[in-house]
Amino acid sequence: MKEDLMALEPKEVFKYFSQILEIPRPSKKEGKIRDYLLNWGNTRGLETFRDEIGNVIIRKNATKGYENKPWVCLQGHMDMVCEKNNDKVFDFEKDSIEAYIDNGWVKAKGTTLGADCGIGVAMILAILDSDDIEHGNIEALFTVDEETGLTGANALGEDTLKSRILINLDSEDEGELFIGCAGGKDTLGKIPYQKEASPEGIGLKICVSGLKGGHSGDDINKGLACANKVLNRILWTINKEVDYALSSFEGGNLRNAIAREAKAVLVATEKDSEEIIRMVEQYNKEICFEFRSTEPNMSVKIEKVEKPKEVIDSMTQEDLLNVLYAIPHGVLAMSREIPNFVETSTNLASVKMIDDCFVIATSQRSSVETAKEAACDRNEACFLLVGADVSHGDGYPGWTPNPDSKILKIASESYERLFNKKPIVRAIHAGLECGLIGEKYKGMDMISFGPTLRGVHSPDEKLEIKTVEMCYKHTLDILKHI
């Protein structure tokens, strides 16, 4: 694996990317990658330090002749989304990512690849390590916990950075320059349940699997199925026709990923169980046809299992099925100003059973602050109708586009000069740390770009090899011409 990656161009970038893949770095557990970065900077004699929250900053002086250029911050995050297929045995806190090359892409075996934002970090290290790149004074900012809370950017000190130009290397479409992003906020609903002894009957397990999943911001408008929605839809439909007792319902994992898998266990009489099996098999045909173009590998399966000892009380069962059906998922509004741009969305991210409660996590995004709050309030209203306890996260601000940005002009001219075509300039529905950094550093001139990634936040994540070299050349040319 490592030898194959290190043979790719640009070699200096893929050398560091292969090293990063060997370092476990889940969100909120970035200790190993942080130690790697601190040691890396110190052994090269670069000004290197960590702040109170755990972000790492590394500074490199300008090359000869560029001493009067303004300070520039190159920025990426240390952590990665940790998602895997159910049949994959893997410990994200201990194991190295098993990467391989497939037809022009770097992929991982059964897990997320972590190119988000590992490839950005690798490019920054390659620049810092080089002796022949022309640039002004550079400081690299590597933040913690971007994926689950933007914690590092949120806690960044207002006097930490010297730069007033920032290049974020955490975007996923080569040839596109991002100058704005959506803000986001989470809403959590907790529904307590009572345990009851299982009635007489047969245990049945229903599983939804094979979905693509993906980024809850960038992929929310692609017509993908949400496993939680699919599973609840069939349970709700069966509940109208046949009596059963629900023992468990769990699906999805991370707030910023569309749920790929979900499962439920229920108990029904022998006669009713046969009808349920028939209904699920029929539903599998119908739902697979419904999503045939966007979810070709989706599957809804049912099997008889050992009867669970306990089920949840019938009132909570009704409340759960109703609220999961009522809570929206997907695009809520498209922009009225920017063609084909998602303004507001919500993601039914996960359903988990914790401490005798169903914990339902949703994530809302919008480039309009009031619309973001309204989306959160809408979900809160749904939860309140079934008596759930509701809480909201702190959220994070969006990044308002500045079409007159100087760094945008430099980056656009650079791209056209290098590749003889104009880049696409747009905002992104996903959240970027630029919003929070811009809040702390008023007037910070910012831009975001990166090589092409697909299937981000899912085990289908892949990195297009040829775009890494394009993105790296673009970054170097920007630094030369600032």
Residue the block writes with tokens 């970027």: 432
259 secondary structure, DSSP code: -
Q: Is 394 a catalytic residue?
A: no
Other Cβ atoms closer than 10 A to 237? 15
Task: Please give the torsion angle defined by the CA atoms of residues 460, 376, 193 and 250, in that order, rounded to the nearest 10 degrees.
Answer: -10
Residues near 275 by beta carbon (within 8 Å), at least 6 away in sequence? 241, 242
Pick the closest to residue 341 from 377, 366, 364, 370 (CA basis): 366
Tokens of 287: 């739902």
Q: Is 160 helix (H, G, I), strand (E, B) or coil?
A: coil
Cα–Cα distance measured from residue 120 to residue 254, given in angstroms and rounded to the nearest whole number: 22
Query: CB of 457 within 8 A of CB of 215?
Result: yes
- Measuring CA to CA, which residue among 220, 291, 257 is closest to residue 459? 257
Measure the CA–CA gap between 401 and 179, rounded to whole angstroms.
5
Catalytic residue among 145, 146, 261, 464: 146
Tokens of 221: 């408008």
Please count the residues of the chain.
482
Answer left, alpha or beta for residue 307, where phi above 0 means left and psi between -120 and 50 means alpha: beta
What string of DSSP letters covers 6-39?
HTSSSHHHHHHHHHHHTS--BTT--HHHHHHHHH
7-28: b (≥16 Cβ within 10 Å) or e: ebebebbbbbbbbbbebbbbbe
The verdict on whether 79 is a catalytic residue reads yes
Q: Torsions phi, psi of 261, nearest 5?
A: -140, 150
Q: Which helix (H) or strand (E) holds 70?
A: none
Pairing of strands 202-209, 262-268: antiparallel
Q: Say what the alpha-carbon torsion angle 274, 279, 281, 284 is, to the nearest 10 degrees.
A: -160
- What's the one-letter identity of residue 149? G
Stated as kind and residue range, the H or E segment containing 303 is strand 299-305
What amino acid occupies position 174?
E
State the burial class of residue 141 (Cβ atoms within 10 Å of its Cβ: 0-12, 13-18, 19+).
buried
Of the residues 12, 30, 79, 172, only one is catalytic, namely 79
Give SS3 for 51.
coil
Reduced to 3 states (helix: H, G, I; strand: E, B; else coil), residue 128 is helix
- List the catalytic residues: 79, 146
